Amino acid sequence: MSPGLTPYDEAVTRMQARAAAIHAGTAEELVWLVEHPPLYTAGTSAKLEDLTAPDRFPTHKTSRGGQWTYHGPGQRIAYVMLDLTRKHGDLPQRDVHSYVNALERWVIATLADFGVKGEIRQGRVGIWVVMPDGSEAKIGAIGVRVTRWVTWHGLALNLAPDLTHFGGIVPCGIREHGVTSLHDLGVDVTMDGLDAALKRHWDGIFG
């Protein structure tokens, strides 16, 4: 875990180096918890027209899958660097789909600790919740890259970010649904409390 706000370019450089070292057998696997200053990242499928406020925050092209995502204070980023040639819980080895599903299950189990029902939707990567008015909103985004069977990038879980900051993009290319957070849902939890829940549920998913 890194305190404060970690610059995005620094995070990518460190992740890439760590993933290479894991592949080489010179470093251990790692789950790295960070927060970033406000910024937008463009995944490999991002469309320029989905960046609706290009001058609002810094933008970064990135090598993860997916489309546009916002990162900022109050959002827990979990960068996960695992060697998928190794065994992790009940996950099959060298199976990227199962790995992404495990990340989703990890977030869903964590949210359940706070009375929030996270769900997945066919064709919509990430974690969704049904709002009181019956609409759906995304609370967790997932975007990964796998290099020589080592994962990097990971997920973003909204604790208490400024939700208006998502207005500068079409999050993940989905226009018909909104974005929410634990605090938006009335859950009073600190970042430390959220981190503790993430750590509690890690072994149950990944072994």
Catalytic residues: 172
Alpha-carbon gap, residue 72 to 161, rounded angstroms: 6
Alpha-carbon gap, residue 144 to 80, rounded angstroms: 9
Contact at 8 Å (CB) between 161 and 73? yes
Contacts with 172 (C-beta within 8 Å, 6 or more apart), sequence order: 66, 67, 68, 69, 124, 125, 126, 138, 141
What angle is formed at CA 77 by the lines to CA 139 and CA 149, rounded to 5 degrees? 110
Q: What are phi and psi for residue 78, nearest 5 degrees?
A: -115, 105
